Structure formats: C-alpha cells, structure tokens
C-alpha cells in the first residue's frame, strides 16, 4: 500500500480532497479504497502478528482499533486540516464526548460558550458535572468575558465558530492565545466552517473536530466524527476510543471518503449560494432578520473575514409573525427537506424551535437570541436562482 504523494505543502484543498490519503494501488490494482468489512486480520506466523500487536510493524489486528478503510479516511482528513495526526469516531458526538472525557479529570475546569451544539451543551450541563468537572459557559460574542474566564485558569477551552443556529462568530486566534498563556488545551468544533473555509489549527487550536455527518460526508447518508491535531493528544484520544469502542465502521468510512472527494467543490458553491440567499432574504419585506457572517451588516462579519476564507453554507433568518408564519413558509417550499442536520447536497430547512432547541423553553431560546420565527437553512448544491425563486414563492404565501 504505497502512498502516491507525501508532501502536501502548497497543494490546494480541492486537490487534497480527491487525492490525500489515497493509496496508489490497494488490492490488485483497485484505484478506489476497498471497503474492508473484516473484523479481524490474520497472520501467517506468530512473530509478525506479535510485532504488529506491539506496534513494531504496520498492520491491523482488530477493527475496533484500526481498519484499512477507516485509516484512509483519517489520513485524508489529517491532510485537509494540515494536522500531525487524526482519529475517527462513530459520530460527531462520539468524537466530542471522547475528546472531553479524555482531556478532563475531576476537579478540572473547562471554559466554553453558551451557543455550542445542543449535544455538546448537554455534556457540559448534564454529564461532565457528574464527574465533578467545573464547567463555565460564557456569552458567545463577549470576547472580553471569555478571556477573563480563561485567565482564571482552565484545562480545556472548547469553542465552536460559526455557531448553531444563529451563526455567531468567535475570535479563535485571540482566545487560543489567551488559553495558551494559562496552559490550556484548545478544542474547536469546525463542523459549520469545514477545512475549506477555516483552519483552526493555523489560528492556534490544539485540536479541531468535525461531525463528519455534515459537510464532510455531504450526502446525509453516513455518520461519523473526526478529530485532528497534535499527535500526543490524538494518541490519547485513540487510546480511550479503542477501549470505549465508539469506532467508525468501514462502510461509513467509505461513504464519507467518497463524499469528501467533492468537499471543496460543494463548499465553494454552498458559500456562494448562501451569501446570495442571505442578501436576497435581507431585502424581503416578510423577513425580520438574517443571520449570516458573510453579510457586512452581521455583527460577526469583521472577525469572520479575518479567520475564514468563505462564510459557509448555513444561514438563518426569522420571519415577521413568528412560528405560524414559519409553518406556512416551510410547507410551501419545493426544493428543501424539512429535516434536522445540515451540510448535505440537498437544501435542508428547519426551525430551531423543533430541532436543535426543542428542549429549551421559550424564555431560554430568547436568552440565546433565538427568535420564535427563526428558520435555519443549510443550502445544498442546487442552482441559486431556483432556490431563490422557491423561497420567493414561499414568502409570497405569507402575504
């Protein structure tokens, strides 16, 4: 299994999406990565088996630990994030849980933001405190407040940018610097941005993670998680995952690998369409507010411009008239699935009131700045003109 290319310096993301991690000839000349469903790997003699088991020789033993198809996916993602190492998980949440439970011990402190992904937020509010981890969640857009909490000392700084569902932007470079001054490890959830639009490791983060279920796979047909970063930290995560068993399976790894080959193509198109849609929505009389860091009017625009090369395929907007109008609007759309999740080739829309923040009360949503009439929209790769005509039609149904 020879790697076609080893030096990825100065190679662009589109080329990496296709070629990185791929081996030249896998099995009898196969050009595509085979799906190795085998749970276990056999050896002709005990000596070789032993050498592989103790890590003296490369190879696979048992698929809960490592698997050839999964390894290609990890290598591709490692190269796309320009990281030293990468390890994968069965879902994005498995990656996040493993990261937090590997890095934090009882009595230690983690600083994060109020707007983190719903599942992550549950870990912070429900599970980590049971293990006596001190959790401090800050106002997402108040960089001074976050910095002040970091300065009090913490083991982990956990960030996400842009956030779900109101696309708030966090100054990654500034907060990484503050965290390193107190010796903290910085973890960034890069799911919304993808490595096409944002490179947290270059901005100072120690670990970057993704729900590969979203843009990385891109087709809403496979789940997975990936964490990339310093080898010393990835080794620790891998060690815990080998034992708790939140392993990515070979078939999902194959689907994600196939999806990621078009990552750059998709994301660039989604960036363009989302920006066009945001600008279009801003002008519509039925729309109350548009949330998208690509808009010059957006409070996160200046920081986003500094740390992102594109603003992503997710936007949100609120309708005048609240939730009743949301129902009418969503039922009138032709080219969108009314569904949770994001980052797929097909447009996905949903109200946070019934998706990500269904368990929050109206008051809690208000505190997080989530209007009752908010719609999150993850634009697909359809033609922007068709999507806009569809949205215009559905807005007209509100009058």
Ligand X SMILES: *Cc1c(COP(=O)(O)O)cnc(C)c1O
Residues that bind ligand X (CB under 6 A): 91-93, 117, 119, 160, 164, 189, 191-192, 211, 213-214, 223, 225
Least gap, CB of 184 to ligand X (angstroms): 20
Q: Which of 378, 22, 78 is closest to 214 using CA atoms?
A: 378
The one catalytic residue among 189, 206, 249, 298: 189
298 given a catalytic annotation: no
Q: Which is nearer to ligand X, 67 or 164 (CB)?
A: 164
Would you say 67 or 121 has its CB closer to ligand X? 121
Q: Of 101, 28, 41, whose CA–CA distance to 71 is shortest?
A: 41
- Among 43, 51, 64, 279, which one carries the catalytic annotation? 64
Residue, CB closest to ligand X: 92
Compute CA distances 196 → 40, 43, 338, whole Å: 35, 40, 26
Residues forming a β-bridge with 40 = 62
Q: Catalytic: which of 76, 155, 168, 214?
A: 214
Of 111 and 246, CB closest to ligand X: 246
The residues, ordered by sequence, that sit 6+ positions from 242 with a Cβ below 8 Å of its Cβ are: 64, 65
Q: What is the smallest separation between the CB atom of 275 and ligand X, expressed in angstroms?
A: 20
**Catalytic residue flag (residue 189):** yes
Residue 33 or 211 having the CB closest to ligand X:
211
What is the smallest separation between the CB atom of 349 and ligand X, expressed in angstroms? 15
Say which of 16, 76, 117, 249 is annotated catalytic.
117
**How far, in Å, are 44, 282, 330, 350, 354 from residue 323 at the CA level?**
65, 19, 10, 11, 10
Q: Is-catalytic flag, 115?
A: no
Nearer to ligand X, 63 or 252 (CB): 252
To ligand X, the closest distance from the beta carbon of 155 in angstroms equals 21
d(CA 69, CA 49): 20
Peptide bond into 34 cis (omega under 30): no
The token duo for 309 is 């090369």
Distance, in Å, from the CA atom of 351 to the CA atom of 374, rounded to the nearest integer, reads 6
350 and 318 Cβ atoms separated by less than 8 Å:
no
Question: Minimum CB separation from ligand X for residue 340, in Å?
Answer: 9
Residues identified as active-site? 64, 117, 189, 214
């Amino acid at each position: 299994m020879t790697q076609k290319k080893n030096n990825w310096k100065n190679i662009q993301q589109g080329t990496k999406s296709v070629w990185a991690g791929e081996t030249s000839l896998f099995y009898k000349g196969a050009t595509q990565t085979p799906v190795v469903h085998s749970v276990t790997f056999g050896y002709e003699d005990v000596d070789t088996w032993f050498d592989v088991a103790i890590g003296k020789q490369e190879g696979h033993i048992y698929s809960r630990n490592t698997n050839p198809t999964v390894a290609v996916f990890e290598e591709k993602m490692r190269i796309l994030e320009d990281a030293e190492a990468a390890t994968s998980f069965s879902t994005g949440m498995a990656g996040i849980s493993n990261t937090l439970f590997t890095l934090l011990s009882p009595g230690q402190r983690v600083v994060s933001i109020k707007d983190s992904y719903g599942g992550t937020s549950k870990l912070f509010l429900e599970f980590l405190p049971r293990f006596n981890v001190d959790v401090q969640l800050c106002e997402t857009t108040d960089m001074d407040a976050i910095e002040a909490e970091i300065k009090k000392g913490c083991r982990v700084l956990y960030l996400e940018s842009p956030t779900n569902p109101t696309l708030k932007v966090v100054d990654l470079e500034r907060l990484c610097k503050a965290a390193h001054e107190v010796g903290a490890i910085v973890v960034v959830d890069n799911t919304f941005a993808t490595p096409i639009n944002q490179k947290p490791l270059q901005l100072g983060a120690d670990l970057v993670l993704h729900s590969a279920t979203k843009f990385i796979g891109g087709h809403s047909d496979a789940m997975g998680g990936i964490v990339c970063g310093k080898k010393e930290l990835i080794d620790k995560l891998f060690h815990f995952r080998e034992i708790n068993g939140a392993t990515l399976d070979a078939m999902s790894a194959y689907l994600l690998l196939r999806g990621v080959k078009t990552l750059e193509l998709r994301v660039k198109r989604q960036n363009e369409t989302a920006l066009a849609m945001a600008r279009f929505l801003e002008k519509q009389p039925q729309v109350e507010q548009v949330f998208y860091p690509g808009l010059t009017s957006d409070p996160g625009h200046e920081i986003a411009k500094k740390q992102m090369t594109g603003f992503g395929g997710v936007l949100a907007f609120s309708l005048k008239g609240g939730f009743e109008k949301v129902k009418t609007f969503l039922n009138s759309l032709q080219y969108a699935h009314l569904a949770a999740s994001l980052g797929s080739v097909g447009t996905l829309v949903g109200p946070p009131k019934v998706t990500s923040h269904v368990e929050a009360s109206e008051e809690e949503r208000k505190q997080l700045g989530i209007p009752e009439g908010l719609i999150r929209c993850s634009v697909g790769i359809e033609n922007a003109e068709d999507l806009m005509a569809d949205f215009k039609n559905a807005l007209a149904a509100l009058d």
